[in-house]
Structure 1
Amino acid sequence: MLFTTALAFACPSFAVPVMEMRAEDLLAMAAEFRKELNLNANQATLWQQTESRTRAVLRERKSRRERMQAALRPALDGKDVELRELAGGVDAEAAASAAEEKQLRAWWLDVNDALDETQRKQVAVFLAEQMQRVEGGERGERPKEGGGPGRGEHKGKGGMGGQGGPGGRGG
């Protein structure tokens, strides 16, 4: 968790609580942080394999969520919708995502285990520095994607865990 947590704070312009970090965010920062670690050949190979497996999991998750969204849309658009009947799919997705997050942490902890003491110290120092860069208040601000309204700005209109952004119901 320390390694992925360090990656979580790699962006200097904002800080996000650890439990709100997304694997997608971590991957975006991983390449730059990787350079700073000066990995040896074996570490670099393990990193590349882990990054590749992570990208595959995230692609599948995105695809799965798109399929779920498409399946839920007709029911949500119909009259007499019963939200409790739709919750099972959302619960199943939440469980699948939790299992994936656990697997991703295990893979990245394996990378962390392969680091030498100097590299591990770099991770710890880097993490401490990033935690001090909190901007936008206690929790920090997540940058808005595409310059438009981001998550959480729709006053609850996203519903069922949706973002309410483009293509959503909250705009």
Structure 2
Amino acid sequence: MKSKFSPRILVAAVLLALGVGGTAFAMNPERCGAGGGRMEQRMAYGMKEMSRLHDELKLDARQEAIWQEADKAGKASMNEMRDQRRKQHEEVLAAVSQPGADLRAIARQMDALKDAGRKQHEANRDRWLAVYDSLDATQKEKARLFFKGKIEHMGQWGRFGPGGPPRN
């Protein structure tokens, strides 16, 4: 059966998922409840997996420079998003704590910050797609298979997440 998805779409989907994971990782663990540590562990595992892909691709000097730029910018972006979310949380909490707070204004402020985060995420995704564009056909196939495995693994979680359906 021929797949309707091109490798570029698969890579974009996984990069989108990684970006969403990066955004989730950027949240402060104190606000994530008991699972905050697990989220950080999953992110660390994802970074380790990307390191494995990096090793498998055997990048030339030009590709390596593009990879390092995307990696460095991605980490800086995650740190910036984490700081922005912490600041946003404090500002929103302070605003909503005031008697007579204008909830519409607070919602607009939250929407503006969400849009800024989306733009950061898109810029990060575009940097990683530039890495993908720099790969030769063999490297692109290795990347495709790597991300295919990631997508298959995510699909095994189903709609209930990694713990599976609720147990009775």
TM range (shorter): 0.5 to 0.7
Alignment partner for residue 95 of structure 2, among 68, 75, 78? 75
Q: TM-score, normalised by structure 2?
A: 0.65
In structure 1, list runs of 5 or more residues that go unmatched: 9-17, 144-171
Alignment partner for residue 41 of structure 1, among 54, 61, 80? 61
Separation in 2, partners of 1:140, 1:126: 24
What percentage of aligned pairs have identical amino acids?
A: 23
Separation in 1, partners of 2:137, 2:160: 31
- The question of whether the paired residues in 2 share the 8 Å contact of 1:6 and 1:127 is answered with yes
Q: TM-score, normalised by structure 1?
A: 0.64
In structure 2, list runs of 5 or more residues that go unmatched: 1-8, 26-42, 164-168
Separation in 1, partners of 2:107, 2:162: 28
How far off is 1:35 after superposition?
Answer: 1.6
Separation in 1, partners of 2:148, 2:95: 47
Q: Which amino acid aligns with 1:108?
A: W
| Equivalent residue, structure 1, for 2:143 | 123
How far off is 1:92 after superposition?
Answer: 0.8
Distance 1:19 1:33, change over 3 A: closer
Query: How does 1:125-164 map onto structure 2 within 5 Å?
Result: 125-133=145-153, 134-136=155-157, 138-139=158-159, 141=161
Distance 1:42 1:19, change over 3 A: closer
Separation in 2, partners of 1:88, 1:82: 10
Q: Which amino acid aligns with 2:51?
A: A
Residues 83-109 of structure 1, C-alpha deviation per residue, up to 9 Å, x if partnerless? Answer: 222112101111101111211111111
Separation in 2, partners of 1:32, 1:118: 16
Query: How does 1:18-57 map onto structure 2 within 5 Å?
Result: 18=17, 21-23=20-22, 25=43, 27=47, 29-57=49-77
Query: Any idea what SS the aligned residue of 2:159 has?
Result: coil
Quote the RMSD (CA, aligned, Å): 2.7
| Equivalent residue, structure 1, for 2:40 | none
Q: How many residues align?
A: 133
